[in-house]
Structure 1
Amino acid sequence: MTAFTPLHALLGGLLIGAAAILLLWLDGRIAGVTGMVTGLLVKPTGEQAWRLLFLLGLVAGTTAYQHWGAATPLRQGFPVPLLILAGLLTGYGTAQANGCTSGHGVCGLARFSLRSLVATGTFLGVAILTTFLVRHVAGLAP
């Protein structure tokens, strides 16, 4: 198990919040990643440039962090079919919730949205249950 680093968590949260605030203040848009991907790939609206740049920034930031600043390596030890299933279930869940944790948990809660409160509570509950099942029932605990 990796050690929890409060400073990294705080800095990450501040960066996510700053990105969401800047996108809202400067462009009037909500920083929901699911909506960005949907607008980019599934239902193009002619506004692909800003969506692509924001998503590339997420990938570039993660890559830079892993290359220069990560104290822990990427997670290993999970079977690839389980990771694919997890990704598909996450995509299905975000489609059912009309958004993801960034849209509901960061931006929606900041706007006092009841729908986002319910969605975020559901995300959290399912995450806790999934962690319990993966670690204690399936025995996968890298």
Structure 2
Amino acid sequence: MQIDWSQFTPWTALAGGLLIGLGASLWALCNGRIAGISGLIASLLERQSDGLAEKAVFLGGLLVAPLVWSLWAPLPAFNLPVAEILLIPAGLLVGVGTRYASGCTSGHAVCGLARLSLRSLVATLCFMASAVGTLYVIRHVLGG
């Protein structure tokens, strides 16, 4: 494995991880709920859900944060190695998977593992195994 040292950004990665942990901790302390992004989005779609405004502000912060960051530093360039049309079924499959797992990576991996939840550990291991399998298929079977 080769590390592209010009693209290696440990301090920004550390800052991002700390901000994610801080945001999830503050959400749990203030609301007594897990900051699972798929659950927050799902509750925005329900008309009878409590705290719609604060959930919308929290999720809006996730969208605005990269724009604020770009005021101080450029956002990293990325290359999407698949056709854009594949993003729609991929997103739908992720949504189905989060429903089967009763939560997403943010809920299980960030919040659940911090609470030492065995269910979250199993879910996170499944997420990681399917990510490794998908990468293997794309790189070695499909030749991407």
TM interval, shorter chain, is 0.7 to 0.9
| Matched positions, count | 140
Matches for 1:1-142 after TM superposition, within 5 Å: 3-42=7-46, 44-66=48-70, 68-70=72-74, 72-140=76-144
Q: Which has the higher helix share?
A: 1
How many Å separate the matches in 1 of 2:125 and 2:47?
28
RMSD, aligned α-carbons: 2.0
Change (3 A) 1:94 1:74: same
Rg larger for: 2
Structure 2: tracts of 5 or more residues without a match: none
The percentage of aligned residue pairs carrying the same residue is 46
The structure-2 alpha-carbon separation of the partners of 1:121 and 1:24, relative to structure 1 and needing over 3 Å to count, comes to same
Q: CA offset at residue 77 of structure 1?
A: 4.1
Secondary structure of the residue that 1:49 maps to in structure 2?
helix
1:67 deviation in Å? 5.8
* TM-score, scaled to structure 2: 0.86
The alpha-carbon distance between structure 1 residues 42 and 130, as it changes in their structure 2 partners (threshold 3 A), is farther
- Do the aligned partners of residues 114 and 58 (structure 1) sit closer, same or farther apart at CA in structure 2, a change above 3 Å counting? same
